[in-house]
Amino acid sequence: MSRVLVVDDEPQLVRALRINLHARGYEVQTAEDGRQALRRAGSYQPDIILLDLGLPDLDGVEIIRGVRGWSTVPIIVLSGRVGSSDKVAALDAGADDYVTKPFDIDELLARLRAVSRRTPGGEDLEPIIIGNCQIDLAAHTVTCAVPAARAARGPAVPAGAGRDVRLTPTEWALLEVLLRHPGKLVSQRQLLTTVWGPSTPDSHYLREYMARLRRKLEPDPSRPRHLLTEPGMGCRFRP
């Protein structure tokens, strides 16, 4: 059973979410302000957080940054703010999705299922394929098949044989962020903060490590198909 922390100060909305989530098998805990939310995020250890931005004591973006200091739990923002700047701020801080109020409960449930599939406790944590390589996030292993042309040049190495590829801790951290958000453009700021911490280094670190990952995982690093960079914006894993 997935645990959901609902953070909102609207009692009627909280009650409706609790009823609908319970009916679909979720365990629900609630918080009505930001400080309570941060405490319960630590003690309750939710699998997903549903977060309103307009809380009485702290802005929701501050909550996202606080949680992201120690956790990768998926965060879906539920907000009446419709401006693009609010969405960008929430996503840059580390939110996984943004739903504008009022919303359809079936759409929200679909988004809950989608973010659940991106996490270690989710439904579909299966090995991910990039070119000739298979990445197992749970086991932290990368195995790449030896191309036929390379096998022909090597002594007694059959085509398709697996070879383990070593990634550094920083390479793993960067790769995991991208693989857990398939198809999503992850901003430069979010990647730098998540991988290197609050003392964000220059963006050239990101360019360097993306190049390293492509050399290790992409069949043709000069023409990447899966690990993509959108200059000035961020990076994306395309399945």
The one-letter amino acid at 46: P
Confidence class of residue 84 from pLDDT cuts 50, 70 and 90? confident
Helix axis angle for 60-68 and 34-44, nearest 10°, is: 30
Domains parsed from the chain with CATH numbers:
3-116 (3.40.50.2300), 128-237 (1.10.10.10)
> pLDDT per residue over 131-178, tens digit each?
889 998 777 789 988 654 443 444 443 444 568 888 888 888 889 888
Give the integer Cα–Cα distance in Å for 207 and 29.
40
Is residue 45 predicted with pLDDT exceeding 50? yes
Q: Please give the Cα distance from 120 to 104 (Å, whole number).
A: 27
Closest CA to 2 of 49, 41, 60: 49
Query: Which of 63, 47, 89 minimizes the C-alpha distance to 9?
Result: 63
Quote the pLDDT of residue 44: 83
Q: How many CB atoms lie within 10 A of CB 233?
A: 11
